[in-house]
Structure 1
Amino acid sequence: MTNELIEAIEEFEKLKGIPKEMIISSLEDAIRIAYKKKFPNSGDIFVNINKETGEIKIFRRAKVVESAHSVKEISIKEAKNIKDNAQIDETIDVEILPDKLGFVAMQVAKQILVQKIVSLERDVIYDEFKDKIGKVLTGKVSRIIGSNIYVKLEKGEGRIPQGLRIPNEEYYVGKELKVYVLDVLKTSRGPDIILSRIDANLLKYLLQREIPEINDGIVEIKGIVREPGKRAKVAVHSYKSDVDPVGACIGTKGVRITNISKELSDEKIDIIRWSDNPKEYIKYALSPAKISRVEIFDKKAVVYLPADQIPLAIGKEGINVKLASKLTGYSIELK
């Protein structure tokens, strides 16, 4: 029976990912609480479960005295039956037979253990996911409740709140998604794993995965801004003169950037060349519009361009100039 207990604990460890030592500690605590409920005046009780054999032992801590008058004490005569060289004022552990616990108390212990295991499982999931904040994971939509999209991950389940969804993106149970882990919160119902589909770091991850030159450090991403589901701008720089950073990101016939766009619900992605010259950088950021010249006053840029280029510079619903401003850090006025 005792070996079966260890086997069951080890199987549970594999199933739930909770370390064996934590399960045993919880079981010891559950038995201790159950014993104290059945015998409230039993003194200082603790439980030990042998990690190899599964043998359960219950002990009462007692102070050695000449003549015992409470459960917190043991007479020197009885103490010497347990330990030959027992001394007055010494504290020794007195074993209590486990069968004194009884069936009802064991049922109580089982209930307590279940509660503790649920709590442990939540703690394990929290600890695992708090280390994944800032990372991108793959999951599948498991359920849709109200404005929340729940995503089943390898371990645990996260949710995408409405404000972190790509506008107009279609979600359905079973759909596979790449998600950015924004935060992990501790709640009474377990860890609340907050996922995002609109974070710039999600696009950064997809670029690194799809484009070897970025992954290898030949091309560096210098800036990313997004209007989720509509448009994004990515500034890139090459550390090799013979590598075109824009061409490397777009790929032959645009295949690389198209694959990334599909992952983000067909979000249009502009790849532009980065420059440490603000005027040049602003010109690149406003592409596809052709710019005549740029004048800079503190953090404001006045951009001169032909009249027929202004609609291109502004973009649909003003998105192009808005993203260019966010990317470069300059307030942009078109003239």
Structure 2
Amino acid sequence: MAITSANQLELLQTAEAVAREKMIDPALVIEAMEESLARAAKSRYGAEMDIRVSIDRKTGRATFTRVRTVVEDDELENYQAEMTVDQAKQYLDDPKVGDTFVEEVPPVEMGRIAAQSAKQVILQKVREAERDKQYEEFKDRVGQILNVQVKREEYGNVIVDLNPGEGVLRRNEKIGRESYRPNDRIRVYIKDVRREQRGPQVFLSRTAPEFMAELFKMEVPEIYEGIIEIKAVARDPGSRAKIAVISYDGSIDPVGACVGMRGSRVQAVVNELQGEKIDIIPWNEDMPTFLVNALQPAEVSKVVFDEDAERIEVVVPEDQLSLAIGRRGQNVRLASQLTGLDIDILTEEEESKRRQAEFEERTKLFMDTLDLDEFFAQLLVSEGFTNLEEVAYVELDELLVIDGVDEDTANELQARARDYLEAQNAKAMERARELGVQDSLVEFEGLTPQMIEALAEDGVKSLEDFATCADWELAGGWTTVDGERTKDDGVLEPFDVSLEEAQNMIMTARVMLGWVDPAELEADAEEDAELEEEQEA
């Protein structure tokens, strides 16, 4: 097949037809044609030649050109596509390295094999264009709900028609035991769009918490308009869910607005989610108050919040325990997901026993270490003293408020406490020295002898060892694996070292060792401060 005037316009018509059919840019089809014609020309003139083809967008005329690039003498490798400066002088005026010489060559006859190859190139380019179009169309639609038609089911995964392209609703993203037949229409949430080798993959979901949030946005105008905000969602798909909402208009009840007249709004969402029961909860910035709401319908007697550990302890009456925990732990699990906290539930009797055990333990501590009788030790515990450091270094006035304690008695108590602590410090330091701890760590500010002993037992014996530690290795932390939070014990955790304190100590050690430039730290701190100001604004 030769590119003659008879079929020049046919190229453009073919490009237009393919572009319309595939709904892509005609220029992409013409570029594919140019590439396929260039390949055919190379098979005729030689693969080493740099043959290029340009198709006129108005007339359809295909121009074949040979391009040669000017290179340094010692870089000349391909004589068909390159030439030296001296060689270029017969074609160009004052040639320089990098210049190109372009000359037109006769068009080629395309045999059957070349035509087939050209067809494959065009089809490949069209497929790539289709994939790019689908990716560009859906990459910015993550988080939206689509109403799609089921095409088929493959190994439990549902393939749906996205027009253009297909999306996949994987087995674990379906609610319960949902099953669909071809041509069924379903609502799905676009969870992720990825560009993969086999083409763009659009992953859909019906179990994502965001799916429920988007459904409420569709059913509740106040959420769509921003008057009510969904702050958190927790789901056990197909069974039960909790959703926390807040209203920015004092005259609108967020829970009532989401429920709707006679439950019409929430019922529409429930029906879409295969009868999933939904608890709508008012959001509160005070975490204990919010948790009490989240554990509904159970009644809560008391809440103790440990902010550092992100744990919360809930005390409930005996008859409310099973309700608070829920069937198979569902209620407390959803409340934990909603608040982002680990929740320990105790009955009032269990909490009373634990507090009594703590009282007895502290009483014994003061009896053994300060040589006190049981009554006096109990007085100290009742006044809120929990350890020897508090007794040893508290202001004297705080001891004098205890019944029967005068100034001499208070001074004697503090002296005993300090003597005991000093003896313990000396013992801890002696043990640390036996383990081989170095002076650089001993002299580091902020570490007590007991801390140094604990570090030495864990293999941290020098300032260099200390500087290589991670903050969580010192202060402890939490790791989430497969949705379950597990505790990571820290070496200095028994000494109530917070994560922030651990970070500061480690960074100070790195600065002392010259590993970190203090100026860079100041610059990073300023950037963080600016970011926080921007976020607040």
TM tier relative to shorter chain: 0.7 to 0.9
SS of the aligned residue for 1:151 comes to strand
Which residue of structure 1 lines up, in the alignment, with residue 216 of structure 2? 207
CA distance in 1, matches of 2:192, 2:255: 32
CA distance in 2, matches of 1:219, 1:112: 54
Question: Which residue, out of 144, 150, 165, partners 1:135?
Answer: 144
Q: Do the aligned partners of 1:141 and 1:171 also contact (CA within 8 Å) in 2?
A: yes
CA distance in 2, matches of 1:193, 1:226: 23
User: Which stretch shows the higher mean deviation, 5-14 or 157-166?
Assistant: 5-14
Which residue of structure 1 lines up, in the alignment, with residue 508 of structure 2? none
Question: Which residue, out of 283, 286, 295, partners 2:295?
Answer: 286
Which residue of structure 1 lines up, in the alignment, with residue 331 of structure 2? 320
CA distance in 2, matches of 1:53, 1:243: 66
CA distance change for structure 1 residues 73 and 283 in 2, over 3 Å: closer, same or farther?
Answer: closer
Q: Do the aligned partners of 2:143 and 2:190 also contact (CA within 8 Å) in 1?
A: yes
Q: Do the aligned partners of 1:35 and 1:105 also contact (CA within 8 Å) in 2?
A: no
Q: In the TM superposition, what is the alpha-carbon distance from 1:237 to its structure 2 partner?
A: 0.7
Q: Which amino acid aligns with 2:37?
A: I
Indicate the percent of aligned positions where both proteins have the same amino acid: 38
Q: Deviations over 1:137-193 (max 9, x none)?
A: 221221101121111113211112222222222322222222222223333322222
Which residue of structure 2 lines up, in the alignment, with residue 9 of structure 1? 15
Matches within 5 A, 1:293-308: 293-298=302-307, 299-305=311-317, 307=319
CA distance in 1, matches of 2:258, 2:337: 21
CA distance in 1, matches of 2:69, 2:325: 84
Which residue of structure 2 lines up, in the alignment, with residue 276 of structure 1? 285
CA distance in 2, matches of 1:141, 1:295: 50
Which residue of structure 2 lines up, in the alignment, with residue 18 of structure 1? 24
Give the number of the structure whose residues are more often helix, by fraction: 2
- Residue 114 (1) aligns with residue 120 (2): no
User: Which stretch shows the higher mean deviation, 184-193 or 155-164?
Assistant: 184-193
Q: In the TM superposition, what is the alpha-carbon distance from 1:238 to its structure 2 partner?
A: 0.8
Q: Do the aligned partners of 2:299 and 2:316 also contact (CA within 8 Å) in 1?
A: no
CA distance in 2, matches of 1:323, 1:73: 69
CA distance in 2, matches of 1:191, 1:63: 38
SS of the aligned residue for 1:262 comes to helix
Greater Rg, structure 1 or structure 2?
Answer: 2
Q: In the TM superposition, what is the alpha-carbon distance from 1:229 to its structure 2 partner?
A: 1.1
Matches within 5 A, 1:153-172: 153-172=162-181
Question: Which residue, out of 25, 31, 35, partners 2:37?
Answer: 31
Q: Compute the RMSD of aligned alpha carbons.
A: 2.6
Q: In the TM superposition, what is the alpha-carbon distance from 1:39 to its structure 2 partner?
A: 3.1
Q: Do the aligned partners of 2:220 and 2:257 also contact (CA within 8 Å) in 1?
A: yes
Q: Do the aligned partners of 2:28 and 2:126 also contact (CA within 8 Å) in 1?
A: no
Q: In the TM superposition, what is the alpha-carbon distance from 1:86 to its structure 2 partner?
A: 6.3
Q: Which amino acid aligns with 1:305?
A: P
Q: In the TM superposition, what is the alpha-carbon distance from 1:244 to its structure 2 partner?
A: 0.6
Q: Do the aligned partners of 2:44 and 2:108 also contact (CA within 8 Å) in 1?
A: no
Q: Do the aligned partners of 2:9 and 2:59 also contact (CA within 8 Å) in 1?
A: yes
Give the number of the structure whose residues are more often strand, by fraction: 1
CA distance in 2, matches of 1:6, 1:130: 31
Q: In the TM superposition, what is the alpha-carbon distance from 1:36 to its structure 2 partner?
A: 1.2
Q: Identify unmatched segments of 5+ residues in structure 2.
A: 1-6, 71-78, 348-537
SS of the aligned residue for 2:199 comes to coil
